[in-house]
Amino acid sequence: MVQSSMPTLQRFGIGFLWASEWNPSQELFGALPFIYGTVVSSILALLIAVPISLGIAVFLVEQAPKKIAKPIAFMIELLAAIPSVVYGLWGIFVLAPFIRTYLGPVLQDNLGFLPIFQGRLTGIGMLTGGIILAIMITPIITAVVRDVLEAVPNTQREAALALGATKWETTMIVLGNAASGIAGAVVLGLGRAVGETMAVTMVIGNSPQITASLFEPAYTIASVLAANFADATDELYLSALIEMALVLFLVTVVINGLAKLLIMSVAGRANASKHT
């Protein structure tokens, strides 16, 4: 990948990463629109998915009876096995019309003074892509957070209750002890959001632009690779795509490695407490 990226590196240098123009016919290539789309859609997905995932995991581990928690956990984990193209089709035929007809007008009527809620209401854009990503990463974050909370020794819960803490106060203590593992789960979800390809390609609109509006179409790094790789017959064009693939690969490796370290730190503390 590094060797295939050399034509772009030799012509544009490191400035390729923050150049904003993308015009293959004129051999002008810049990765910034795709980096921007990836960052915005991933952050939006985390803003939606993290509170939901955390709430579900806390309910399943700390509040729900086991006979209810196990079936719910199984159903949530099944969502992670659904092919991404199914999410994409659901986004096209259900979510996009809903945003165009209902959610979008409500947001513009009440929050239209904000740049992020201005623009055309086509139903296809960064908001749709972000919501689809949120739905896809919620089962992953939920499952990991649930495992992290279960790894916290029960002695900590018993000690808190013995000191007079309420059920919710005890839950907050458990969350504090599992904070690094929860952060790892969030980072792991971020890795999935950054690398997701097919579903996002189907609903984000695929337009190389930088805009503040969440209703406008955009591109992510993964979606531009999927949509343009087959058409990249020119050497420089292909090199630009491969360089973005290299960037995506490196970012994904770093994110997943960080998530693994954070989650392992909780498991290590749990094992240490069991032996003391």
pLDDT in single tens digits along all 276 residues of the chain: 788 889 888 888 889 999 999 988 888 899 999 999 999 999 999 999 999 999 999 999 988 888 898 899 899 888 888 999 999 999 999 999 999 999 999 999 999 999 999 999 999 999 999 999 999 999 999 999 999 998 888 888 888 888 888 888 888 988 988 898 999 999 999 999 999 989 999 999 999 999 999 999 999 999 999 988 888 888 999 999 999 999 999 999 999 999 888 888 776 666 655 555
Q: What is the DSSP string of the chain?
A: -HHHHHHHHHHHGGGGGT----BGGGTB--SHHHHHHHHHHHHHHHHHHHHHHHHHHHIIIIIS-HHHHHHHHHHHHHHTTS-HHHHHHHIIIIIHHHIIIIIHHHHHHHHTTSGGG-S---S-SHHHHHHHHHHHHHHHHHHHHHHHHHHS-HHHHHHHHHTT--HHHHHHHHHHHTHHHHHHHHHHHHHHHHH--HHHHHHSB------S-TTS-B--HHHHHHHHGGG--SHHHHHHHHHHHHHHHHHHHHHHHHHHHHHHHHHHHHHHHHT-
Class of domain 2-270: mainly alpha
Mark residue 270 as left, alpha or beta (left: phi above 0; alpha: psi -120 to 50; beta: remaining): alpha
- 68/155 Cα distance (integer angstroms): 24
Across the strands, what pairs with 28?
23
User: What are the Cα distances from residue 75, in Å, to 65, 68, 206?
Assistant: 16, 11, 32
Give the amino acid at 261: L
pLDDT at position 229 = 86
The length of the chain, given as a count of residues: 276
pTM, 2 dp: 0.92
Give the amino acid at 125: G
pLDDT at position 123 = 92
Exposed / middle / buried, residue 165 (Cβ in 10 Å: 0-12, 13-18, 19+): middle
- 222/211 Cα distance (integer angstroms): 19
Give the amino acid at 124: I
